[in-house]
Amino acid sequence: MTKVLPKKVLACAAMALSATVVVGGCSSSEESTPAGSSSASRSSTLNVFAAASLKKTFTAIADEFEQQHQGVKVTLSFDGSSTLVNQIKQGAPADVFASADEKNMDKLGEQAVDPEIFATNTLVIVTAPGNPKGITSFADLNKPGVTTVVCQSAQPCGNATDTVERNTGITVAAASEEQSVTAVLTKVTSGQADAGVVYVTDAKGAGDKVATVVDPAFAAVVNSYPIATVQGAANDAMAKEFVDAVLSPSGQQILAGAGFGKP
**Residue 225, marked binder:** no
- List, as one string, the DSSP characters of 56-101: HHHHHHHHHHHHHSTTEEEEEEEE-HHHHHHHHHTT---SEEE-SS
**Residue 27, marked binder:** no
CA dist 156 and 180 (Å) reads 9
CA dist 61 and 260 (Å) reads 14
53 DSSP 8-state letter = G
**Residue 199, marked binder:** yes
- List, as one string, the DSSP characters of 180-248: SHHHHHHHHHTTS-SEEEEEHHHHHHHGGG-EEE--GGGGG--EEEEEEEETT-TTHHHHHHHHHHHHS
Query: Which residues line the annotated binding site?
Result: 53, 81, 181, 199
Q: Which residues are annotated as a binding site for molybdate?
A: 53, 81, 181, 199
